[in-house]
Structure 1
Amino acid sequence: MLLPILALLGSQVSVNLGAAVAKNLFGVIGVEAITAFRVGFSALLLLAIFRPWRFRLTGRDVVNLLVYGTVMGMMNLLIYRAFERIPIGIAVAIEVTGPLAVALLSSRRPRNIAACALAGFGLYLLLPIHSGDAGRVDPAGVAYAFGAAACWALYIVFGKRASSLRGGQAVAWGMLVASLFIVPLGAFHVDASVLTPAIVLVGLAIAVLSSALPYSLEIVALRGLPQGLFGMLSSAAPAISALAAMLVLGERLNAMQWIAIGCIVVASAGSATLARRK
């Protein structure tokens, strides 16, 4: 079981490294262009790997994939907009409330309600509503993170509907759909004069670190870990993101923000445990 655990850890490290690299480029070519690099290159890589056109799609599959790909693209764009304005650890902590809400709404047992209350308390500590901390977290960044959370919840719902497709068809087609509107949006906002070969290579690296490599490692982890354990380990993502941002970008959180992230991590882990038992 060590290899799947290491694969999952490697996936989270890769995602956070990709986020750190991307955030360093926001001021150079803009959030939209960085998102376009991530989604566009990821679509090309996933299409080349899975070759989904080999299998026929039904009309229902097409509808599900259109919604799935749209929310995937919006999720990427909104979370990058959040990263631009607030620390990565806080943005990820807010974003994971999306899948947490999906898990909790599937069951209204008392323990689920307790997990929801704990996550709500964590969010209360993070939100810019306290008199002494109102200027510490950008409200617009928080709003973008909540938007990404809503997209992640829809991503799970429609991803489940599209999961009947063979192999990696769903994620490949979904990323292609996302690229159809994210890439033109990025091209519209970017200044072509800054797109040097070095910047393009960094964009490719972001796509590999943030999407292609994590997806591959997560497949290894899912095959070797029970679903509940996978969920529990994944719930540590906000804490890992905060640590990575502190080490790579120098983003430091105060004690209240760390406590808030801890509450959300515990709530997510508890939700994963309850889902496994159910």
Structure 2
Amino acid sequence: MVPPPIPSLLLAAVSIQGGAALAKSLFPLLGPPAVTGLRVTFAALILVLIWRPDLRGVSRAAWRTLLPYGVSLGLMNLAYYLALERIPLGLTVTLEFVGPLAVAVLASKRTADFLWVALAALGLLLIVPWPGRSAGLDPLGVGLALFAGACWGVYIWAGQRVARVFAGPQGVALGMGVAALVALPFGVILGAQHGASGAWAQLSPGVLLTALGVAILSSALPYSLEMGALRALPARVFGVLMSLEPAVAAVIGLLFLHEGLSVPQWVAIACVMGASVGVTLGAGTRAVPPVEV
């Protein structure tokens, strides 16, 4: 039985952020690069097995369209997990959301959207670790989260081109394969340097099963739920519900990772969410927010 579209989107958000929390639990054992490599590789295998893309029918021009999509996806996941090691889940997702928000504003011609940019900027000012601020966030973690957001912006731009070249989800499956080729070498090289014996010495059936669970929760399950909801909901309703993800991430981080946030940080999350909702409602049916994979 397929759930209704709005519960589907809410369940997808919980699944994605739950997958991130599960991934973070593996960081002490494997390190973020190895977890990223395993997660993206498992996700690619799942999507390829489900959608069975025909490599023989992919032209060189199609591959050139696909490469920026897959590379940005791989780097986005790597930077996201590296940031997640250093700063709380809710703030990582909030900072990453700046990428798609910037793409939406750049594609818009509405003067009112600059007000939403100002609101998002206020949120960033409340998060960024200014010199002299006590108990500030890790600056490298903030930078990595913003870089992940920039990669997400490129992923949106490239994904629009991929959607015009590939039918259905075949481009997503192939793009995830490219992302695995990008992320896995980082996982192999940096994972070998993690801890006294290296990440790969820690692999066991239980660890691999957990990594597979991360891939399912973070990619396969939410992608299926979001695709079903996208076909049933107006674009702006879909976008507004997607804008709830920073709050979902903050709650998941609090409940499962015990990551408490300060009042200014909660205000920052609300500012970025409000800006995302404002831009989405202003866009109407002219733009559809991308799903995360």
- 1:31 equivalenced with 2:32 (yes/no): yes
Match of 1:110 in 2: 111
Count of aligned residue pairs for this structure pair: 277
Contact 2:235–2:285 (Cα < 8 Å) also in 1: no
- 1:223 equivalenced with 2:231 (yes/no): yes
Give the RMSD, CA atoms, in angstroms.
1.5
Q: Which moved more, 1:159-168 or 1:51-60?
A: 51-60
What is the aligned-residue identity percentage? 44
Write the distance in 1 (CA, Å) between the matches of 2:138 and 2:109. 33
Match of 1:239 in 2: 247
Q: What is the CA distance between 1:184 and its match in structure 2?
A: 2.5
| TM-score normalised by structure 2 residue count | 0.91
- Change over 3 Å in CA distance of 1:55–1:116 after alignment to 2: farther
Match of 1:132 in 2: 133
Q: What is the CA distance between 1:59 and its match in structure 2?
A: 2.6
For 1:187-206, what aligned pairs fall within 5 Å after superposition?
187-190=188-191, 191=198, 192-206=200-214
Matched position secondary structure for 2:57:
coil
- 1:143 equivalenced with 2:151 (yes/no): no
Higher relative helix content: 1
- 1:209 equivalenced with 2:209 (yes/no): no
AA matched with 1:234? M
AA matched with 1:207? A
Contact 2:79–2:148 (Cα < 8 Å) also in 1: yes
Match of 1:12 in 2: 13
Write the distance in 2 (CA, Å) between the matches of 1:189 and 1:94. 25
Write the distance in 2 (CA, Å) between the matches of 1:54 and 1:28. 36
| TM-score normalised by structure 1 residue count | 0.96
Match of 1:51 in 2: 52
Q: What is the CA distance between 1:183 and its match in structure 2?
A: 1.5
Contact 1:232–1:272 (Cα < 8 Å) also in 2: yes
Write the distance in 2 (CA, Å) between the matches of 1:58 and 1:77. 28
Write the distance in 2 (CA, Å) between the matches of 1:70 and 1:25. 24
Q: What is the CA distance between 1:109 and its match in structure 2?
A: 1.8
Q: Which moved more, 1:106-115 or 1:168-177?
A: 106-115
Unaligned 5+ segments in structure 1 are: none
Match of 1:154 in 2: 154
- Change over 3 Å in CA distance of 1:170–1:17 after alignment to 2: same
Contact 1:17–1:244 (Cα < 8 Å) also in 2: yes
AA matched with 1:259? V
Q: What is the CA distance between 1:55 and its match in structure 2?
A: 6.8
- 1:271 equivalenced with 2:279 (yes/no): yes
Contact 1:37–1:206 (Cα < 8 Å) also in 2: no
Matched position secondary structure for 2:207:
helix
Matched position secondary structure for 1:109:
coil
Match of 2:167 in 1: 166
Matched position secondary structure for 1:44:
helix
Write the distance in 2 (CA, Å) between the matches of 1:239 and 1:41. 27
Superposition misfits of 4+ residues, deviation over 6 angstroms: none
